[in-house]
Homo-oligomer: A and B are copies of this chain.
Amino acid sequence: MSGVYKMVEIVGTSPVSFAEATKEAVKRAAKTIRHMGWFEVIEERGAIKDGAVAEFQVKLKVGFKLDE
């Protein structure tokens, strides 16, 4: 993976699962970041409402290559 990469940290949310929250975050980041190559899960949390899980939240670092 020669070159230099940048990491940005984002948080995705989903009512369904940690995997969906991850997908949401990456999809949104793709609107402004090109060349994303990988992600790393930093933290998993969520919201509870009326005694049930209402939202899965995943904090990610996303890595992408910088233009040379």
Contact = CB atoms under 8 A, between A and B. Distances in A.
* Complex copy number for this chain: 12
Contacts of A11: 4-7, 63
Contact of A4 (B2, B4, B25, B40): B25
Nearest to A24: B4
A6 B3 contact: no
A12 B18 contact: no
B17 A19 contact: yes
Contacts of A59: 7
Contacts of A10: 4-7, 66
**Shortest beta-carbon contacts, A-B, top 10:** A30-B51, A17-B19, A41-B44, A4-B28, A7-B9, A5-B11, A36-B48, A40-B45, A23-B53, A26-B53
